[in-house]
Structure 1
Amino acid sequence: MPAAEQKGWEGQGAGTSVVEADVRDDVEDDLLAEEFAEIDAVLARSSKILSGADVPARTPRSDERPDLVYDLDWNEEERLAEWQAVLAETPELPAVLRAAILLEAWSDIEVLQHAAWLGPQLVAALLRQEGLAGNHLVSLHLGAKNIPRERRRARNRGDRLLASLDGIHEAALAGLKEHDRLVMAKSQMERRLKQRRTSSKLADLVEFVLSRPIVSTGMIQE
């Protein structure tokens, strides 16, 4: 085989690999952009719900819901309106007590058949909106895991409220532990970066990753 022809084939293969890599990166960026758009839409919808705006429930048509899995008589719009009424009745209460009441109400009303996780997320968004956790969404699910089910499902409403308050407390402790872990990791990385050249971008990368919950390869490259 002529050397020139072989060299041309080799160059063509390298170019194809680069193009394929670029296409993969573009696809990954598009998928990530779609996921972030969905997250933004959920947050915007949550803000509307918390502000008391009339937000229609996103429910598929009844003929798309198999009656083996769904209760077709379950009126999610009515249940959501009932929960929003509790939200509207409690603005004067302390933020943590209000959050506990809303958590208990979400569980008691059973607003959504298959998205019980959304209630704690809405309450966490409320805590952020009220400035109690201004820079993050409190992981209320993590706090609830440390509370025995018997307490969370107690027959007495007062006991359930106390369980919700304790769950919020546990979530706060978990957040502080995670913060301490990240601070320690940052300190360890900074010690390792002392010997790096002044032109190194690694320090900026460490700061960027620690300040963002989600990063992509493209974001890191930039």
Structure 2
Amino acid sequence: MSSRTVTDLKWEDILPSLALAEDRLARLDETLKTSPIRDGFLARTHYLDAIASLALEGELVHLEDLVLADVDMAVRAPSHELVRAREYLSARRQIADTDAGWTLTARAHRLQNLAGRGGQGAAEETDDADRPSVRDTSSSVDAMASADDDLTLAFATLDSALANAQAALADTAAPRQKTPLIYNAECDEEDRFDLWRDSIDQTTHLPSTLAAALALVDWDTQQPLTHRPWLGRLIAAALLRQRGKVTTHLPCLSVGLRAIPPRLRQLSPTAGTTQRLLTQLEAIAAAAEAGLVDHARWLSARAGLLRKIAGRRSSSRLPDLVELVMKRGVISGGMVAEELGVSTRAALDLIEALGLRETTGRGRYRAWGII
């Protein structure tokens, strides 16, 4: 966004929303600095932001399904919506678990991966000589067969099958041509994405919250990535962290955008820059406010659970179960057994002793949690 566009904004309308967003972000950040459930809060908000991102696109993903699929304990085949939610969840975790500055560095390799363009460069650097040779492996199998050693032949055949599989995977990793049926040939996403990043570099003199809101406005108007429209919200959240507005968490901008009234986020194509900027500032403020409310609710729930198990023996696993359910939000018997190192029957007994609410309503493949 050019400096002339910034000067043309209606600042008398923008400043109150900007101040509110700045204040709520600072309050949430300071709250998390000394919070005993900070790690659990961060883990749970990853799930909530992924669910909110899919909800903005009109898709419904249940929290318990996403949590169980995330730990490979899903009870049914994953739906298309669940796969997309896991993609968002993976990208958000990748941003949250790395240094604050890498997301916005020029030509960052990891940013290319998030944008769906990292596989091409990696595939071009792969040397064909490094790929497994199926022909050489098959000849070794023939040589071993002549030795009349059944065990050696069996292992050699297994090695040949593994080599075939690795060669097939190496071939599929090569870059594919984008089909015109899915991708618009006249739309150069790489150039548009780089132009959007250049517009972020022009906002270094602005307050971080305002710069993030302007980046979101430009993302909505330019639409640099057609098949990953959610990536702009994650990069804007990383911008807030990189410029020091928040230090303890990655703001859940999808949650905030979902929380504001639909009339504010579903703007007409002719809406002005000021109105679009107000929408993004309202979403940032709503995201921080939702974080404060969830933190207070989860902190109260943790305190109630700890009071319930007070006086137990020191070797009890119930305190560990409390921390696990606060971190995951939704747990299953198998998940508890794996995390705490107990049997499934003991895990179910611990859940019953803690008095958690069952969330699925099923008789089998049940899950419990604090939503």
TM-score between the two structures when normalised by the length of structure 2: 0.44
Match of 1:219 among 331, 339, 362: 339
Q: Which residue of 2 aligns with 1:196?
A: 312
1:47-85 per-position Cα deviation (integer Å, ceiling 9, x unaligned): 53412345455347563x332332122211111111111
CA distance in 2, matches of 1:150, 1:158: 15
> What secondary structure, in the 3-state scheme, does the structure 2 residue paired with 1:162 have?
helix
Alignment of 1:71 with 2:184, yes or no, is: yes
- Are the structure 2 counterparts of residues 91 and 213 from structure 1 closer, same or farther at C-alpha, using a change threshold of 3 Å? farther
Q: Tell me the matched-pair count.
A: 188
- Are the structure 2 counterparts of residues 175 and 194 from structure 1 closer, same or farther at C-alpha, using a change threshold of 3 Å? same
Alignment of 1:48 with 2:48, yes or no, is: no
Q: Which residue of 1 aligns with 2:297?
A: 181
Structure 1: segments with no counterpart, 5+ residues: 1-26, 30-34
CA distance in 1, matches of 2:318, 2:312: 9
Q: Which residue of 1 aligns with 2:133?
A: none
1:94-121 per-position Cα deviation (integer Å, ceiling 9, x unaligned): 1211110111111111010111111101
Q: Which residue of 2 aligns with 1:6?
A: none
Kindly indicate whether the alpha-carbon contact (under 8 Å) linking 1:49 and 1:84 is maintained by their aligned counterparts in 2.
no
Q: Which amino acid aligns with 1:180?
A: A
1:103-159 per-position Cα deviation (integer Å, ceiling 9, x unaligned): 111111101011111110111122233343323221111111233455343520111
User: How much has 1:219 moved relative to structure 2?
Assistant: 3.4
Q: Which residue of 2 aligns with 1:170?
A: 286
- Are the structure 2 counterparts of residues 46 and 122 from structure 1 closer, same or farther at C-alpha, using a change threshold of 3 Å? farther
Q: How does 1:150-169 map to 2 (within 5 A)?
A: 150-152=263-265, 153-154=267-268, 155-169=271-285
CA distance in 1, matches of 2:329, 2:237: 16
Q: RMSD over aligned Cα, in angstroms?
A: 3.2
CA distance in 2, matches of 1:40, 1:140: 11
CA distance in 2, matches of 1:117, 1:126: 15
CA distance in 2, matches of 1:40, 1:94: 23
> What secondary structure, in the 3-state scheme, does the structure 1 residue paired with 2:314 have?
coil
Q: Which amino acid aligns with 1:50?
A: L
Kindly indicate whether the alpha-carbon contact (under 8 Å) linking 1:46 and 1:122 is maintained by their aligned counterparts in 2.
no
Kindly indicate whether the alpha-carbon contact (under 8 Å) linking 2:196 and 2:224 is maintained by their aligned counterparts in 1.
yes
Q: How does 1:1-222 map to 2 (within 5 A)?
A: 39=91, 42-43=94-95, 48-55=102-109, 56=112, 58-59=116-117, 63=177, 65-152=178-265, 153-154=267-268, 155-211=271-327, 217=336, 218-221=338-341
Kindly indicate whether the alpha-carbon contact (under 8 Å) linking 1:102 and 1:123 is maintained by their aligned counterparts in 2.
yes
CA distance in 2, matches of 1:104, 1:67: 28
Q: More deviation in 84-93 or 143-152?
A: 143-152
Which one scores higher on RCO, CA 8 angstroms, separation ≥ 6? Answer: 2
CA distance in 1, matches of 2:322, 2:91: 24
Structure 2: segments with no counterpart, 5+ residues: 1-70, 74-86, 121-174, 343-371
CA distance in 2, matches of 1:201, 1:51: 44
1:1-39 per-position Cα deviation (integer Å, ceiling 9, x unaligned): xxxxxxxxxxxxxxxxxxxxxxxxxx959xxxxx9xx65
TM-score between the two structures when normalised by the length of structure 1: 0.70
Q: Percent identity?
A: 33
